Amino acid sequence: MGAELIISAVRPDQFPAETLPEVAFLGRSNVGKSSLLNCLAGQDGLAFTSATPGRTQSINFYRIDGRVLFVDLPGYGYAKVPKPIKAEWKGLIESYLVERKTLDMCFLILDSRRGWMEKDLELRDWLEFHNRRFTIIATKMDKLKTQKEKHHGMKALQSHCSSEFLPFSAVGCRGAREIWQAILKIKSNQ
């Protein structure tokens, strides 16, 4: 599989031409967006992952196999970012999510230990309001080790939302095949 970074856009005028279908990766800082993207692209280190939250400040566009773009967005909910910078990100992200014609699917990524947090719910409502199609992915499944943790995690994920979610872990890229199937399904439905 060929995967390459096209551009790290910090302004809307830097977004690439609207040609290929796009999948956007959304979620809180540090939830595992870039790790998921790397697994799906089959390329470790393609998207920059970090143990320090709030690192991705641009919208990064990756071309995968010449047929789909993966779009890594800055994470939300990171309190240490200065307000004016936050406002700028918000403008950038909103202009992408509202206006992008080739955006076909948003992956709303949740931490399976935490489930829905306030900012995730806000984003979900926002996506629904704007009629954006989204799929929920519960990542870091490997962190649910005991039966008790698994039970608690499932309950947290199932609250607030009746929609199904796709389980995933970047450890061994478990669940990547099912997520790819979901991507291919959107494309064949068009």
Ligand X SMILES: Nc1nc2c(ncn2[C@@H]2O[C@H](COP(=O)(O)OP(=O)(O)O)[C@@H](O)[C@H]2O)c(=O)[nH]1
Task: List interacting residues with ligand X (CB under 6 A).
Answer: 27, 29-35, 49-51, 56, 75, 139-140, 142-143, 169-171
Distance CA 183, CA 62 (A): 15
Q: Which of 38, 56, 112, 169 binds Mg ion (CB under 5 A)?
A: 56
Nearer to Mg ion, 30 or 135 (CB): 30
Nearer to Mg ion, 54 or 153 (CB): 54
User: Nearest distance from residue 35's CB to ligand X, in Å?
Assistant: 3
User: Nearest distance from residue 178's CB to ligand X, in Å?
Assistant: 14
Distance CA 48, CA 73 (A): 12
- Strand bridging mode 59-64 / 68-72: antiparallel
Cα atoms found within 13 Å of the Cα of residue 11, Cβ hemisphere only: 2
Distance CA 179, CA 135 (A): 9
- Strand bridging mode 103-111 / 68-72: unpaired
Q: Check if the beta carbon of residue 123 is closer than 8 Å to that of residue 24.
A: no
Candidates 7-15, 50-58, 119-127, 129-137; binding stretch for Mg ion (CB under 5 A): 50-58
35 touches Mg ion by CB under 5 A: no
User: Nearest distance from residue 166's CB to ligand X, in Å?
Assistant: 13
User: Nearest distance from residue 17's CB to ligand X, in Å?
Assistant: 25
Nearer to ligand X, 10 or 171 (CB): 171
Residue type, 98: V
User: How big, in percent rounded to 5, are the helix, strand and coil portions of the chain?
Assistant: 40, 25, 40
Nearer to ligand X, 99 or 149 (CB): 149
Candidates 15-23, 49-57, 114-122, 148-156; binding stretch for Mg ion (CB under 5 A): 49-57
Q: Which of 24, 34, 60, 123 binds Mg ion (CB under 5 A)?
A: 34
Residue type, 124: R
Distances, alpha carbon 60 to alpha carbons 10, 27, 74, 81, 156, in Å: 9, 14, 9, 19, 30
> Where does this chain bind Mg ion (CB under 5 A)?
33-34, 56
